[in-house]
Amino acid sequence: MNKQSGIHYLREHREAGSSNPVPAQVVRIRDTVVAGLGDLLQGAFDAVDDSLFELANNARSNNEQNRYFEAMREIRIKRKGVERHFQNAVGQLFANPPRSGSVAADESLASQTNSDSLSLVGDEDLEEQVALNAMITKSKVHFQGPLLQLQTRFSVVYPGASEESPVNPMAPEHLCSAFVEAIQALEIQIRERLILLKQFDRYVVSNLGMLLDEANRILIQAGVIPNFRYHGKAGKQQGGTSPQGATAGETTGEAGPAASDQQGHHEGAMFEQIRQMLAHQRANAGIPPRASDPNVHVIGGAELASLLGSLPQQPPGEQVRGNLSAGEPVMVDLYQVVQQLLAQAGNTSDGKKPALNEMDEDLINLVSMLFEFILDDYNLSAPVQVLISRLQIPILKVVIKDKTFFSKATHPARRLLNSLARAGIGWSESDEKARDKLYEQIHAVVARILNEFDGDVTLFETLGEEFEQFLARENRKSSLVEQRTRESERGRIKSQKAQETVDQLLQKKLARYKLQEPVRNILLNGWSRVMFLAYLRDDVEHRWPQTVRVVDDLIWCLHPHQDDEERDQWVRVVPGLLKSLRAGLEEVSYNSSKLDEMMSDLKHELTEAFRANALAEAMEDAPAPEPEDEDSIGHPTAIQRQQELEDAAIAEFVAQIDAIEIGNWVEFNLVNGASFRCKLSAIIEEADSFVFVNRMGLKVIEKSRTDLAHEMRRGRLTVLEQGALIDRALDAVVGSLRSKAG
């Protein structure tokens, strides 16, 4: 792997490079980037720790579990060293940035290198290389605009760099290579390395955008190509003064088509599809385009946004003070609210009546349909639903001012709504609102939007970051509690299963013969403990069959034997049997004084049994079972038929229960009308047990697969949807519009 990932090139380049001083304009960027990447990397390592912990808990064997725990321990021990190594390597990238060719040449060379080199590496190295290449390629596409700007500006700042030989110390391939070099110290297997790379991609590489923007901003402040113009994928940039009407997207390059990810393209296509269906509805209704009406003054864009600025965050009749979740969620007629604003504005000086343009009318209708879905979404708990309903007018203002809300999945307001809904899925009405931190936080977020939002969307970004940090802290606490709950439940259920198995086995074996009380006592009150521990440790010590054999040997030895061969075998078996019994009972710390007495009584019973028929009368065979009624032979009973019908009725629900994954949220409805929400935390297959916990990680209920299927069949168990709220709402809106269109 090392030879194929560019690590040696990076190391040799740094070692061979001169220690030139970092240009003054770059020092601030270097410090900001090194610190920022360090913070992001901490989040990645925390996520790796959580992932390995979860994998260990769900491991199917002890060896697999130990493997994950060992990897977790290795990473925890060496984590700080890896972080320092990575930050130092990034600092060196700024001191001696690797030279590269043009963007097109880099892509061509990378493609050729990948195809040539991947055939020369082993399977594990190949997996890691593929993951690394995918990470680099995705980030280059996602951040193409900012990267191109930064490369152009760095090439101006660094001596010796040029357009033909540009430099960019923040290029994803350099940062990824630095990280791969840093983790060489970790002695972990390929599966754990891929987990590490995945979280590095998720927490570090995917968040490079803010660091790239900050680096560009610092260089712009220093006067390095302040008016950069980027036009799409061709990568051509123009210097000079940008036109006064240039938009932010044009000057930063973020509006280029290559700067949006695949999800953004999908959302944009969905938004256009919705607009086309709304336009189709208008055409079917015979509504002419407003721009063609000479008596209408079309209001839209900045003019409409300015008009909405005077609108209170909640309609006068719906304003709530104090507890924002009081009462029921109320649907605001947003179209009517805007029409009232236009009426208040009055006709223009030339007598034209103000009216909305089609684009803004579509947006208003779409926001209304969005909240109509939200207020009808069963997956949101009622108090959280009420809180989110208060945001109808603020979201309308956001959408009118920034139309990318529906076409960009990463829009700050959209992400915040999704976060609030995701956090509220496990919140039950029965929870105590006055003392619940999550409810207080969601309430505070909504209150701040209502009180502070003045049209600046950055408020949503700030609140979103604060809320995610709060959720991360709360999730870390609850995950620790949940882990303890899982371990406790696994131990309890396994112990319960062990005790049931031991009791059933002994009762079955002892029921065949009427043994003397001393023998029954030593088996039921003494040896059962040995069997219990052997069952629990069987996957490691494999002693369970031996403990069962002791029981069988003891019963056999207590049975009278007349045959000489059997009596010879009896003589061979008894000494080892007595030794095994005493050793096992001493191992479980059985009372020593009682042990001697019990063993003495047992020896007496065995001695008596050895005498030909001494125990023949004392050991009577159990009475033969009553013969079955001839009419019932071959014909199921009424109870059996009823059970077969029940099994057939719940078969489809059992399949649905098996489809529930660890971490999924469900809602139970009790007979008395109350309900509560909980999350599937563990499935303990050997006991057919499903364990559910609440948001705090505490166990709330445990049921078997069959019991859950019956609950679902009766309508008392509902699996909650956990997809992003806005995505689900848009899907519902599309479905609704399609059904209306026939």
Q: Are 466 and 412 in contact (CB under 8 A)?
A: no
Q: What is the mean pLDDT of residues 711-725?
A: 85
- Closest alpha carbon to 197 in 172, 180, 178: 180
By the 10 Å C-beta count (0-12 exposed, 13-18 middle, 19+ buried), 248 is classed as exposed
State the pTM of this model: 0.51
- Span 635-722: which CATH code? 2.30.30.140
Residue 10's φ and ψ, nearest 5 degrees, are: -65, -45
Band the pLDDT of 595: cuts 50, 70, 90. Answer: confident
By the 10 Å C-beta count (0-12 exposed, 13-18 middle, 19+ buried), 96 is classed as buried
Can you point out the beta strands (E) in 613-693?
A: 665-669, 675-684, 689-693
* Amino acid making up residue 736: S
Contacts of 99 (CB under 8 A, 6+ apart): 161, 165, 166, 167
- Please state the domain extents for the chain: 7-259, 262-456+729-741, 513-610, 635-722
CA R_g for the chain: 36
* Cα 478 from Cα 474, distance rounded (Å): 6
Which pLDDT score, from 0 to 100, does residue 654 have? 87
* Amino acid making up residue 248: A
Q: Of the ranges 116-125, 172-181, 566-575, which one carries the lowest mean pLDDT score?
A: 116-125
Beta bridge partners of 665: 679
Whether the predicted pLDDT of 196 surpasses 90: yes
**Highest-confidence segment of 47-51, 74-78, 235-239:** 74-78
Q: Are 383 and 427 in contact (CB under 8 A)?
A: yes
Whether the predicted pLDDT of 16 surpasses 50: no
Q: Are 68 and 196 in contact (CB under 8 A)?
A: no
Band the pLDDT of 330: cuts 50, 70, 90. Answer: confident
Tens of pLDDT, residues 372-426: 888 888 888 878 888 888 888 899 888 888 878 887 878 899 889 888 888 888 7
* Cα 692 from Cα 695, distance rounded (Å): 10
DSSP string over 256-303: SGGGS-HHHHHHHHHHHHHHHHHHHHHHHTTPPPGGG-TTEEEE-THH
Band the pLDDT of 84: cuts 50, 70, 90. Answer: very high
Q: What is the largest CA-CA distance in the chain?
A: 126
Q: What is the mean pLDDT of residues 2-24?
A: 47
Whether the predicted pLDDT of 182 surpasses 90: yes
Whether the predicted pLDDT of 71 surpasses 80: yes
- Which tokens hold the place of 433? 């609102």
Which pLDDT score, from 0 to 100, does residue 692 have? 92
- Closest alpha carbon to 473 in 39, 43, 24: 43
Tens of pLDDT, residues 606-619: 877 776 444 444 44
Band the pLDDT of 631: cuts 50, 70, 90. Answer: very low
Q: Are 678 and 691 in contact (CB under 8 A)?
A: no
Which pLDDT score, from 0 to 100, does residue 229 have? 53
pLDDT above 90 as % of the chain: 9
Band the pLDDT of 322: cuts 50, 70, 90. Answer: low
Q: Are 208 and 170 in contact (CB under 8 A)?
A: yes
Cα separations (Å) of 396 from 261, 334, 335, 384? 25, 8, 10, 19
Q: What is the mean pLDDT of residues 456-469?
A: 90
Residue 437's φ and ψ, nearest 5 degrees, are: -65, -35
Whether the predicted pLDDT of 261 surpasses 60: no
Q: Are 104 and 112 in contact (CB under 8 A)?
A: no
- Closest alpha carbon to 257 in 230, 233, 228, 229: 233
